[in-house]
């Protein structure tokens, strides 16, 4: 897919690795499993939001921005990488955070003081990267509304802010994964792989919608299976579908078949960023068999879903499956209680 007409910054040198996982594949006795290492993308400690930010930040710069505003949880990978992109471009960056839920389902205050609760993982990195402001709101707060208010406040101070949406998942950010679809297809050809399915964590949907659209544009029959990290299937699939449709319209593509939209809600557990037994097993299994560390919020749950699907016989021994590692490992260090 030719995306050269869209403004773009470059934060990664070359493609990320497509890593074979032979010991995990043998352990599960199912398909041949590969791992797409988007945890190794550029910007601070990597992660999938980097691909989105190449287009989002370029668009903001075209609009004359000198300030970025975005939002997410206290341990938001998206906020870390948006801040890192702002530092790379010499821009201000302001973060609006939402308190996480603890293992008991109750909010864990984020705080903004010198040493607030959860001042580890990504929250620590916000400090080290020198965010221009970090504001933590109660769980359930209207983050988009607060970002808009903050944008108006900064405009009144003479700044030129641009709001980057939560997760970077709009029809601009998702272009990063339309492009990634071509990167993957090139790697499949280089390795002579006939890939049955790509398994992705499905949250704000930008990665999944971009891959679905990019594969559709290339005429590929490879399925993209989303493992939801925060919503039921009934809630998530319309969100994926909406972004796929927006991308297809923007890229002047024929409609993407409805069957391409799959977001499995069986592995969310008690809620977003809350641990599950399957996630813990998946992190330990990938670590023990392949020396690979996953994050507990996104790829950990996606890996748990993949492992369960293999055990259920969803894939045969002749199939080849690619798991997308979306990054987020810094957040692991704020959630160590799940592993003790």
326 and 200 both lie in a single domain: yes
Do the Cβ atoms of 117 and 92 come closer than 8 Å? no
143 and 179 both lie in a single domain: no
Number of domains in the chain: 2
Average pLDDT per 10 consecutive residues for the chain, totaling 340 residues: 96 98 96 98 98 98 98 96 98 94 58 54 96 94 97 98 97 98 98 98 97 98 97 98 98 96 97 95 98 98 98 96 97 91
In whole angstroms, what is the distance from residue 52 CA to residue 113 CA?
A: 30
Alpha helices in the chain (DSSP H): 22-28, 49-62, 77-89, 121-128, 143-156, 175-190, 206-218, 233-250, 277-290, 299-311
Question: How much is the pLDDT for 105?
Answer: 57
105 and 185 both lie in a single domain: no
Does any domain span residue 3?
no
The SS3 assignment for 183 reads helix
Tell how far CA 52 is from the center of its chain.
9
279: domain CATH number is 3.40.50.1100
What does the pLDDT look like over 165-213, one tens digit per residue? 999 999 999 999 999 999 999 999 999 999 999 999 999 999 999 999 9
Last residue of a domain, one of 168, 191, 221: 168
Active-site annotation, residues: 76
Strand order in the sheet with 67-73: 133-137, 92-98, 67-73, 161-163
Question: How much is the pLDDT for 151?
Answer: 98
40 and 63 both lie in a single domain: no
Do the Cβ atoms of 338 and 275 come closer than 8 Å? yes
* Helix axis angle, 77-89 to 121-128, nearest 10°: 20
Two tokens, residue 242: 């909406």
Question: How much is the pLDDT for 115?
Answer: 42
Q: Pairing mode, if any, of strands 161-163 and 67-73?
A: parallel
Last residue of a domain, one of 168, 194, 213: 168
Domain that holds residue 238: 18-47+171-339
Question: How much is the pLDDT for 99?
Answer: 86
pTM score above 0.75: yes
């Amino acid at each position: 897919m030719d995306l050269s007409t869209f403004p773009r910054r470059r934060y990664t040198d070359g493609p990320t690795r497509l890593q074979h996982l032979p010991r995990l594949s043998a352990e599960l006795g199912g398909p041949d499993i590969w791992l797409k290492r988007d945890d190794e993308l550029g910007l601070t400690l990597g992660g999938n939001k980097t691909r989105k930010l190449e287009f989002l930040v370029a668009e903001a710069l075209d609009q004359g921005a000198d300030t970025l505003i975005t939002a997410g949880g206290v341990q938001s990978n998206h906020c870390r990488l948006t801040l890192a992109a702002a530092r790379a471009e010499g821009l201000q960056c302001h973060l609006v955070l939402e308190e996480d839920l603890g293992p008991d389902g109750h909010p864990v205050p984020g705080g903004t003081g010198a040493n607030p609760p959860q001042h580890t993982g990504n929250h620590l990195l916000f400090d080290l990267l020198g965010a221009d402001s970090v504001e933590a709101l109660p769980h359930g707060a209207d983050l988009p509304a607060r970002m808009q208010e903050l944008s108006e406040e900064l405009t009144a101070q003479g700044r030129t802010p641009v709001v980057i949406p939560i997760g970077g998942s709009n029809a601009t950010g998702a272009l990063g994964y339309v492009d990634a679809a071509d990167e993957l297809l090139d790697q499949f050809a280089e390795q002579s792989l006939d890939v049955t399915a790509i398994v992705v964590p499905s949250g704000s949907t930008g990665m999944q919608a971009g891959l679905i659209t990019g594969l559709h544009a290339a005429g590929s029959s490879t399925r993209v299976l989303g493992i939801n990290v925060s919503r039921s299937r009934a809630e998530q699939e319309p969100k994926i579908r909406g972004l796929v449709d927006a991308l297809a319209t923007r890229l002047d593509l024929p409609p993407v078949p409805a069957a391409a939209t799959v977001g499995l809600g069986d592995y969310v557990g008690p809620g977003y960023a809350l641990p599950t037994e399957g996630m813990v097993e998946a992190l330990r299994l990938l670590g023990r068999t392949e020396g690979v560390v996953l994050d507990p919020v996104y790829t950990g749950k996606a890996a748990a879903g993949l492992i369960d699907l293999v055990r259920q016989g969803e894939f045969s021994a002749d199939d080849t499956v690619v798991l997308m590692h979306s990054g987020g490992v810094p957040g692991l260090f704020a959630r160590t209680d799940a592993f003790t």
